[in-house]
Amino acid sequence: MKFKLYIEYNGANYAGWQKQKNAKTLQGTLIECIETVFSKTKGMNKLIDFQGAGRTDKGVHALEQIAHLECESMLAPEILKMKLNDLLPSDINILEIEKSDKRFHARHSAVSRQYVYVISKRRNAFEKRYIWWIKDRLDVRKMKEAASLLKGMHDFASFSDNIEEEKSTLVDVEEIKIIETNEKILIRIRASHFLWKMVRRIVGVLVEVGRSEINKETINNMLASYTGNYTRYTAPPSGLFLEKIYYHDN
């Protein structure tokens, strides 16, 4: 049996998605709950594999993470969802569970991923864990012009850390939009995949453009050849949300 899970979570209290031996993670917490449900349910129940579509970093949130659960179980999706949500902490919620094709893989079957980053223009008493408050007034027009340079297939090595661990630093950015409201600036990025800290580095660089500290030529240079000079321009994880995973059928 294989299930497809739609999950939302507040990542502020977790060391990222991926299971680790000595840290509280989202994947680890979910696996513990799945195993507890199976152990307390009559009949043959066994967890075989549980993986997510995106390995979000420490402090990063998800509006809709996708995971697959391969198991031996006769539990119906709605019953499994109910039992898991009863056990999960309040900062993790399973939105939906459905049966999937046995060939479905949450990560490898994905064709693109979409993140949204939230910048606040004002100090906020309630949303500190979910925004990046920037005191400076940002020139959003300049940010939009700079963002347009990032669209398409580029080498994003300058926008990532630990590039020696990546098979390739080429990424196809399908869409990048900047939306301004009265109180917030939203940066939405959809791409084939993302390198480690890539979204946060893009946001950090665009903010410096908005501050008029760097210009479009700097971004062209970053795309043309690797430079580690801009690691300090990495946005904090608090404002970053995994928004959607795209597959061929959606």
Helix, strand, coil proportions of the chain in percent (round to 5)? 30, 30, 40
Helix, strand or coil for residue 187? strand
Tens of pLDDT along 14-41? Answer: 999 999 989 999 999 999 999 999 999 8
Answer yes or no: 172 catalytic: no
Give the model's pLDDT for residue 250: 67
Beta strand ranges found along 129-205 (DSSP E): 132-133, 152-155, 170-180, 184-191
Among candidate residues 5, 11, 88, the one with its CA nearest the CA of residue 57: 11
Helix, strand or coil for residue 66? strand
Report the alpha-carbon distance of residue 103 to residue 113 in Å, rounded.
19
Which residue in the list 49, 57, 101, 172 is annotated as catalytic?
57
Q: In the chain, which segments carry CATH 3.30.70.580?
A: 2-99
Report the alpha-carbon distance of residue 166 to residue 227 in Å, rounded.
16
Cα-flanking dihedrals φ and ψ of residue 212, to 5°? 65, 25
Q: In the chain, which segments carry CATH 3.30.70.660?
A: 112-246
Task: Give, rounded to a whole angstrom, the gap between the first and last alpha carbons of the chain.
Answer: 22
Report the alpha-carbon distance of residue 199 to residue 191 in Å, rounded.
10
Report the alpha-carbon distance of residue 109 to residue 200 in Å, rounded.
24
Give the model's pLDDT for residue 197: 93
Q: What is the pLDDT along the chain (250 residues), one digit of tens a residue?
A: 999 999 999 999 999 999 998 999 999 999 999 999 999 988 878 999 999 999 999 999 999 999 999 999 999 999 999 999 999 999 999 999 999 999 999 999 999 999 999 999 999 999 999 999 999 999 999 999 999 999 999 999 999 987 776 778 999 999 999 999 999 999 999 999 999 999 999 999 999 999 999 999 999 999 999 988 888 899 999 999 999 999 987 6
- Domain covering 2-99 in this structure, CATH number: 3.30.70.580
- Domain covering 112-246 in this structure, CATH number: 3.30.70.660
